[in-house]
Amino acid sequence: MKISIAPTVLEKCPQLKLGILSLSVEVRNDYSDLLEKIKDESILIASKLAVEDISKQAAITAGRKAYKALGKDPARYRLSAEALLRRVVNGKGLYHINNVVDALNLVSIKTGISIGGYDQNNIIGDVLLDVGRAKEPYEAIGRGGLNMEFMPLLRDEFSAFGSPTSDSTRTMVTPEMNTFLMVFFSFAGADELDTALSYAEELLSTYADGKTLLKTTI
């Protein structure tokens, strides 16, 4: 699988870098140790961060700026990291899905980087990060049909399947998944990517028996 960024995206988002992490994993619903770790991190974040300051974090500020450059309203279509942090700071906590998705969300709230998580076996051929088209079909997880026009959008040879706002049902994590692809959307450059990738690798190794197949930046 080749993953690349379209020139039209790089032209308007010149600082954009992608972190890529592929692992073999075991999806589980019994992961109390990880849930305790998420709870502790959420309490720490909520004690230090106000709602109005979330959008001022470097990773989120850069992402909002990139959305505006591409023509998407970041207040209406929030970056996933911003949406997760708003839940944490407002005391709502994170949704608990499974050990793999929850580990991804922990990395996201800790780093401020929006991360897509996909069943790699459902991705067909090469992947391109491009700009969403008008009326492009997209069934977002928990949100139904989503307007993807002007949004940074991952496409394989079959259809669009991921974005920094919401991933699609076509490549979503299921209990049967055994190969997990994470895409880190870093609109502020590569400075924090290595740390975020290594943290995700550590969490998935510990809580999902993860074994790394690929770790790189683009």
- DSSP lists the bridge partners of residue 185 as 18, 114
> Strands 179-186, 114-119: parallel, antiparallel or unpaired by DSSP?
antiparallel
* Domains (range + CATH), the chain: 3-217 (3.50.40.10)
The DSSP symbol for 43 reads: H
Do 206 and 196 contact (CB within 8 A), yes or no?
no
Q: Using CA atoms, how far apart are residues 161 and 104, in angstroms rounded to an integer?
A: 17
Do 107 and 199 contact (CB within 8 A), yes or no?
yes
Instruction: Give the pLDDT mean for 112-116.
Output: 97
Instruction: Give the pLDDT mean for 8-24.
Output: 97
Q: What is the pLDDT of residue 32?
A: 96
In the three-class reduction of DSSP (H, G, I as helix; E, B as strand; rest coil), residue 63 is classed as helix
Do 82 and 60 contact (CB within 8 A), yes or no?
yes
pLDDT in tens, 133-166: 999 999 999 888 999 999 999 999 999 999 999 9
pLDDT in tens, 168-213: 999 999 999 999 999 999 999 888 899 999 999 999 999 999 999 9
